[in-house]
Amino acid sequence: MKSIHLAPIILMLFGIGTALADITPGSPAPEFSLVDQYTKTHQLSDYRGQWVVLYFYPKDDTPGCTTQACNFRDDIYRLRDMNAEVIGISVDNVESHTKFAEKHGLPFPLLSDPGGEVARLYGSIFSLGPLKIAKRHTFIIDPEGNIAKVYRKVRPEKHSEVVISDLMEIQAM
């Protein structure tokens, strides 16, 4: 008798799961147009000619997300000296981003992706029925708009240092 694996069927029926887009180094980074904590619209194409550290995170003002954001904040001048801009994206709304950015003095855009469409393009969405959160993933995007590095396993407390080290290595190639 053939065994039936119910888990994939249950996941599909209830809309539970993750999307994992085929984002690999060298592939074009998916374009986006989202508003930040000050309602300014940002598009990836606005950053052509610069390196972009695009990071997805689950929730404003939670411990891991705060640690990660504050480390990027503390390293922002090192990153900008490398011609890199930091952009954070979560499914939280603009008001939540505004409070989070102001509370922690975050000097970079936090983009609101309420439906998770951009997170889905990057394979960085987790869905549990109607509930959606961005997964903690980061992408380094080169000045031409291509993916240079993908991080699917991120430790918030050391991530900014890792990104800076990898960016130095990539830029030296």
DSSP assignments along the chain, one per residue? ------HHHHHHHTTEEEE-----TTSBPPP-EEE-TTS-EEEGGGGTTSEEEEEE-S-TTSHHHHHHHHHHHHTHHHHHHTTEEEEEEESS-HHHHHHHHHHHT--S-EEE-TT-HHHHHTT-EEEETTEEEE-SEEEEE-TTSBEEEEESS--TTTHHHHHHHHHHHHHH-
**How far apart are the C-alpha atoms of 164 and 40, rounded to whole Å?**
27
Active site residue 70: no
Q: Which of 34, 54, 65, 84 is catalytic?
A: 65
Residues with a known catalytic role: 65
